[in-house]
Structure 1
């Protein structure tokens, strides 16, 4: 569950460098048993906070 959630939140595939974050997510989820800890852990992570800007194509009229 953590891997899929992280990939969705980051908008990309999970890579090897994300493993420490995944381990932290699993540890916190087991300890606190609240889904909200996943949100908090991801949003405060460097991977989420330092995402490169995404280019969105503008719709033509």
Structure 2
């Protein structure tokens, strides 16, 4: 970690450079499945699908 002191100010501490790679991989691990789901949705029939009787019954469960 790097630390730098400003004159009369608080000590600033940065993150190590290697932390950004696992953070980026973790972000991709979360976002990739969500994007895949969004791309597979039939957007033309989305509202009728989520307001159907069977969908509302499933949401109650």
Fold shared, TM-score > 0.5 on shorter chain: no
TM-score (norm 1): 0.27
| TM-score normalised by L of structure 2 | 0.27
Structure (1 or 2) with the larger CA radius of gyration = 2
Structure of greater relative contact order (alpha carbons < 8 Å, 6+ residues apart): 1
More strand by share: 2
